[in-house]
Amino acid sequence: MNELNLIQNTDIYLIDQILKGRYFQGEKILDAGCGSGRNLPWFIHNKLEVFATDINLEVVENIKEIFTTLEKNSVQANLESLPYQKNEFDHIICSAVLHFASSTQNFIDMFSELVRVLKVNGTLFIRMTTDVGVEATIREIGDGVSSLKDGSDRFLLTKSLLFDLMIIHNLEFLEPFKTTVVEDLRSMATVMLIKKRC
């Protein structure tokens, strides 16, 4: 399998991190909310120790069938309560998951749990909806959740919330905070963080 096949379905912003040489053989990486597993092939092929979780048991069973090497490392789990030790992973990917938080506290609980299982100097890659760039088109429902122009209801990451959590958890930006506005319907944030201390 060539490199292009390995990354053809991978989140394009995660490909950017791969090309920058962030990930190395033998490191432990968690895809938290793995879905179909589209972000997994490159990491498996390059011999990282890959773990995958999803809230949906059927999804997890499919991952085990598609990626047989992950049979023991794929588990059903809620992001609020991950079945891992503190400081376990060198890297965590959480792509298009956290915007399903039902409230600000629910988001904080999930975010904090990701940080808990991340090692010091480990990286946390997040993609999720944000209010940045679409403030005029959203309708607030309450407690961090808004209706978007595309018809969906999502928890929106704000810079102020992110900055507060970064201070609490001793996180720093590894990359500048980036947003992509999709046809004025929604805005997606790409966040790449490094954990500096426990």
Contact 187, 180 (CB under 8 A): yes
172 exposure class (CB count in 10 Å sphere: 0-12, 13-18, 19+):
exposed
**Is the pLDDT confidence value at 1 over 80?**
no
Contact 47, 25 (CB under 8 A): yes
pLDDT per residue as tens digits for the range 51-87: 999 999 999 999 999 999 999 999 999 999 999 999 9
User: Radius of gyration over alpha carbons of the chain, in Å?
Assistant: 16
Tell me the CA distances in angstroms from 54 to 20, 30, 57, one per residue in order. 27, 11, 7
Q: What is the CATH number of domain 3-195?
A: 3.40.50.150
Per-chain mean pLDDT for the chain: 97
Give the pLDDT band (50/70/90) at residue 3: confident
Alpha-carbon span 178 to 56, nearest angstrom: 29
Domain ranges of the chain: 3-195
pLDDT per residue as tens digits for the range 166-195: 999 999 999 999 999 999 999 999 999 999
- pTM for the predicted model, two decimal places: 0.96
Q: Bigger pLDDT: 105 or 197?
A: 105
Query: What pLDDT is stored for residue 80 in this prediction?
Result: 98
